[in-house]
């Protein structure tokens, strides 16, 4: 029997087999996902082929949209396959390479999350810079948050969809989450005259004002949003950035100014809806969209690929200048990824929820 040693080029390494711990979806959730809907497995990875890399993930992201991918329904992204590894944003470092453009040691972002070791064609991985601010190294997870898809979503939603103009008023639901904290800060940097957010609990409300620069915030757990919001926006709202739907969308429709724009990014209030526990009813004031000439527009970031270079450059500059705050809720251990996901879905995070793999 003859064996062949793979050839290598400068900046690459030869490859052996390895293992990866990965989370798989094994049942479609009905209502809130349960531990029995998923499993953590260890799989063997083959030796690298030409043009492939192996990456040790440093952080993986858990995000609300992943709940939709657990359902077998048509959407903007295919559902997770049963018995297959789930995917999502991740950042890690190349530990083995047969791709000259991504040598060992390169920091990369990619979509093979929910695992500790990722492997695939180099085209599926993008090199990103090491980040420092004030001479201090910033954790690589920043590329999953304010300098990654989170910040880009906020920028695209406000500029391309919300068409925010200087001097306008912005209301953000789910404002203490990853996208919400980014939206509030970016809105201010784009010239909003007043930024108001909603969050669950007095600590989060205070955090929005004290750390993220919101002018005002309401605690949706303390009283109905519809009752609290008007007093916080006496001049109405020009741009509503929606991460929640349900009662928040209804409350926003009450206070929108003429020609206002409602940016529909998420609807987490209904993600766990089931036949036995229906999601929130539609708004009873949708007619305001007609009488006030409002625009309601849903979006996903993939629709704005041409805007990403501009968004990336501006976010990086603002971050370097200390104008953007980045806050995370960090859970340790890839074995705790599902628990982190569920905590995020229940509002147990401020800022970006990430799992530190190592």
d(CA 222, CA 173): 15
d(CA 99, CA 177): 37
Count Cβ neighbours within 10 Å for each residue of 37-70 and write b for 16 or more, e otherwise. Answer: bbeeeeeebeebeeebbbbbbbbbbbbbbbbbbb
At 319, phi and psi to the nearest 5? -65, -45
Domain 18-145+326-356 indexed as CATH 3.40.50.620: no
User: What is the value of pTM for the model shown?
Assistant: 0.90
Which CATH fold topology does 149-317 show?
Rossmann fold (3.40.50)
Confidence band for 5, pLDDT divided at 50, 70 and 90? very low
DSSP state of 274: -
pLDDT at 4 over 50: no
pLDDT at 304 over 60: yes
Tell me the mean pLDDT in the region 248-254. 98
d(CA 207, CA 349): 12
List pLDDT tens digits, range 43-101: 999 999 999 999 999 999 999 999 999 999 988 889 999 999 999 999 999 999 999 99
pLDDT at 130 over 60: yes
d(CA 241, CA 196): 10
Q: What is the pLDDT of residue 15?
A: 55
Confidence band for 134, pLDDT divided at 50, 70 and 90? confident
CA-CA distances (angstroms) from residue 286 to 182, 296, 354? 27, 10, 36
Strand partners, 56: 93, 117
Q: What is the pLDDT of residue 90?
A: 98
Each domain of the chain, given as residue ranges in start order, spans: 18-145+326-356, 149-317
Which of 85, 67, 90 is closest to 77 using CA atoms? 67
Q: What is the pLDDT of residue 271?
A: 80
Q: What is the pLDDT of residue 6?
A: 35
d(CA 52, CA 291): 56
d(CA 325, CA 151): 11
Tell me the mean pLDDT in the region 151-164. 98
By the 10 Å C-beta count (0-12 exposed, 13-18 middle, 19+ buried), 33 is classed as buried
Residue given tokens 């083995």 in the structure block: 96
At 48, phi and psi to the nearest 5? -65, 140
Mean pLDDT across the chain, nearest whole number? 93
d(CA 279, CA 272): 7
The answer to whether residues 180 and 174 touch, using CB atoms and an 8 Å cutoff, is yes
At 297, phi and psi to the nearest 5? -135, 120
List pLDDT tens digits, range 331-347: 999 999 999 999 999 99
CA-CA distances (angstroms) from residue 63 to 89, 243, 256? 9, 12, 28
Tell me the mean pLDDT in the region 156-185. 97
At 60, phi and psi to the nearest 5? -125, 150
* Residue 287 or 134, more confident: 287
Torsion sign over Cα 44, 28, 330, 312? positive
CA-CA distances (angstroms) from residue 40 to 58, 326, 338, 356? 18, 30, 9, 16
Alpha helices in the chain (DSSP H): 65-69, 149-156, 178-189, 202-210, 225-232, 246-255, 288-291, 308-320, 337-345
Q: What is the pLDDT of residue 275?
A: 79
pLDDT at 125 over 50: yes
Radius of gyration of the chain (CA): 22
pLDDT at 23 over 60: yes
* Residue 203 or 11, more confident: 203
């Amino acid at each position: 029997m003859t064996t062949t040693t793979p050839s290598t080029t400068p900046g690459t390494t030869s490859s052996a087999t390895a293992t990866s711990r990965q989370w798989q979806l094994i049942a479609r959730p009905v209502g809130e996902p349960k531990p029995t809907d998923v499993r953590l497995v260890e799989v063997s990875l083959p030796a690298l082929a030409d043009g492939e890399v192996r990456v040790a993930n440093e952080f993986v992201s858990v995000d609300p949209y992943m709940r939709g991918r657990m359902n077998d329904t048509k959407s903007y992204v295919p559902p997770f396959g049963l018995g297959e590894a789930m995917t999502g944003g991740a950042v890690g470092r190349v530990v083995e390479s047969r791709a000259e453009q991504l040598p060992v040691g390169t920091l990369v972002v990619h979509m093979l999350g929910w695992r500790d070791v990722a492997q695939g064609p180099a085209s599926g991985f993008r090199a990103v810079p090491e980040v420092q601010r004030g001479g201090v190294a910033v954790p690589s997870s920043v590329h999953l948050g304010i300098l990654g898809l989170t910040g880009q979503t906020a920028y695209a939603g406000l500029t391309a969809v919300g068409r925010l103009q200087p001097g306008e008023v912005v209301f953000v639901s789910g404002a203490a989450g990853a996208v919400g904290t980014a939206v509030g800060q970016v809105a201010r940097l784009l010239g909003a005259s007043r930024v108001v957010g909603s969050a669950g609990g007095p600590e989060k409300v205070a955090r929005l004002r004290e750390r993220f620069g919101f002018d005002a915030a309401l605690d949706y757990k303390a009283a109905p949003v519809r009752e609290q919001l008007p007093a916080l926006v006496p001049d109405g709202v020009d741009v509503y950035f929606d991460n929640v739907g349900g009662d928040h969308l209804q409350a926003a429709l009450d206070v929108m100014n003429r020609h206002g724009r409602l940016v529909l990014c998420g609807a987490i209030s209904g993600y766990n809806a089931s036949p036995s526990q229906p999601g929130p009813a539609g708004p009873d004031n949708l007619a305001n969209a007609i009488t006030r000439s409002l625009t309601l527009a849903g979006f996903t970031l993939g629709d704005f690929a041409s805007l990403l270079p501009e968004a990336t450059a501006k976010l990086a500059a603002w971050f370097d200048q200390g104008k953007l705050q980045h806050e995370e809720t960090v859970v340790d251990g890839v074995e705790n990824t599902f628990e982190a996901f569920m905590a995020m879905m229940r509002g147990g995070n401020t800022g970006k929820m990430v799992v530190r793999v190592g």
